[in-house]
Copies of this chain bind each other. A is one copy, B any other.
Amino acid sequence: MRTPRIVIVGAGFGGLQTAQSLANSGADVCLIDRNNYHTFVPLLYQVATSQLEPEYIAYPIRRILRRFSGKRQKHKPKTRFLWAEMQRIDFSAQVVETDRCAIAYDFLVLATGSKTQYLGVTGASEYAFPMRTLEEAIKLRNQILTCLELANQESDRVIRQQLLTFTIVGGGATGVEIAGALMEMLRGKFRRDYPRLDLQQVRLILVQSGDRLLSELPKKLGVYTYNRLSQLGVEIYLQTRVSQVTPESVHLQNNEVIPTATVIWTAGLEANFPQTSAEISTAKKEKILVHPTLQLLEQPNVYAIGDLAYIEQNKPLAGVAPEALQQGVTVARNIQQQLRGKPAKPFSYFNKGRLAIIGCYSGVGKIGNFAFTGFLAWVMWLGVHLVYLPGYRSRLLVLLSWLYTYLLGDRAVRLILPI
């Protein structure tokens, strides 16, 4: 029998896990990504707030694949990496077309994740700063540092206040985490760098459309987060929507205009939907509707996982890393079932819990029915992210950076490097 060819598109959590679970299957696996690195997305906001260097949370894909070829394994792994961007899928020819070449597949796993959705707000895609990719996190870091430098030079009080006003749109985990980290950065030892600038003038505004923060977690945790961020000095606007973003301001739907040089957009996501030769069923936000086995409704040899897939387990999944990781394992197992002529099995999500960090020494968490706040959640958050980070080198460097940030209250990374 010819060696089966499995193509995985996207080297995020789901795609990488699928590749790893298939490494010793004997199949010819090809992993495609438009970057030559895997981005550890949960720590992106720490790159944006000058805590971590980009290289700490971006791991070269080839090095990850190299690790799959341990000495104890029986089969020589056949995982290849192709640095390319997917353009289109031809289901009838069973070919993935990329900007570099076309790849034939017997099984296809789509794990292209999500991208920022601006919810139709005028000016948002032009002037707001999204934070979904490493490049975007670096651009946001440059913007924050540039605003401080320019404010330091500015003699006009109104322009200075505008430069020192940062607005975050979206009160989910990313919005909350960046709000806490940014406030601590601007009020910590960092201010010794700008002795002529009164960083008490910094305004940090968090705009949330719903009636509480962290709406996916129990109400108690949202209230705790609200109080904690308020203590840090964050101004929180609940039940407020943004109607327009300009280079100098953000307009709210209640007609209030906030002069602000920086609008950080964490409000919406939609699936990175691929171009296809035949129509496929989708749910809201361009997500692909899949069977409980994660197979596409129309294509039994094509799977979709992670943020790209729509699947209900009592309620829709939340789009977090553990879901994608577990789906990667399921897909690898199902493909091997199919290769043996057996039916694919349904995916079942085991929810280990959720954690979010608010700032130094505080966080919120939910494990099973147990919701908790404070130092314990903070420590657990750090520990979990350290364990899941790929590679010992990254773990060591991130740990050193955290000691630096949290013990000294300072920020290490401060280059304004055009990108």
Contact among B100, B196, B393, B419 with A417 in the assembled complex (CB-CB below 8 Å): B419
Interface string of A129-152 (1 = CB under 8 A from B): 000001100100000010001000
Residues A83 and B415 in contact, CB atoms below 8 Å apart: no
Known: A192-B66, A193-B66, A404-B393. A135 touches B417 (CB 8 A): yes
Interface SS, A side: mixed
CA of A55 to CA of B412, assembled, Å: 9
Tell me the bound Cα distance from A60 to B404 in angstroms: 16
> Is the pair B153, A415 in contact by a Cβ cutoff of 8 Å?
no
Binary contact track A378-419/B, C-beta < 8 Å → 1, others 0: 000000000000000100110010001000000011111111
Q: Identify which of residues 40-75 in chain A touch chain B, using a CB-to-CB cut-off of 8 Å.
A: 53-55, 58, 60, 62-63, 66
Residue A82 is within 8 A (CB to CB) of chain B in the complex = yes
Output the least CB separation between A165 and chain B (Å): 20
Cβ contact within 8 Å between B194 and A60: no
Cβ A134 vs Cβ B417 within 8 A? yes
Does the CB pair A415–B54 fall under 8 Å? yes
Which residues from B are CB-within-8-Å of A83? Answer: 149, 153, 416
**A36-B192 in contact given A54-B415, A63-B414, A415-B55 (Cβ < 8 Å):** no
Interface membership of A37, Cβ < 8 A: yes
Is the pair A415, B58 in contact by a Cβ cutoff of 8 Å?
yes
Most buried by B among A192, A415, A416: A415
**Number of residues of chain A lying within 8 A (CB) of chain B:** 40
Give Cα A135 to B60, complex, Å: 21
* Oligomer: number of copies: 2
Is A354's beta carbon under 8 Å from chain B?
Answer: no
A187 at the interface (CB under 8 A from B): no
- The reply to whether A413 and B63 contact each other, CB–CB distance below 8 Å, is no
In the assembled complex, how far is the CB of residue A193 from the closest CB belonging to chain B, in whole angstroms?
Answer: 4
In the docked arrangement, what's the CA distance between A413 and B404, Å? 21
Closest B residue by C-beta to A58: B415
Interface bits A154-196 vs B (CB < 8 Å: 1, else 0): 0000000000000000000000000000000000000011101
Residue contacts A-B, CB under 8 angstroms, 22 given: A35-B416, A36-B145, A36-B414, A36-B415, A36-B416, A37-B414, A53-B53, A55-B412, A58-B415, A62-B414, A63-B414, A66-B193, A83-B153, A84-B153, A134-B415, A134-B417, A135-B417, A135-B418, A138-B417, A396-B400, A417-B419, A418-B419
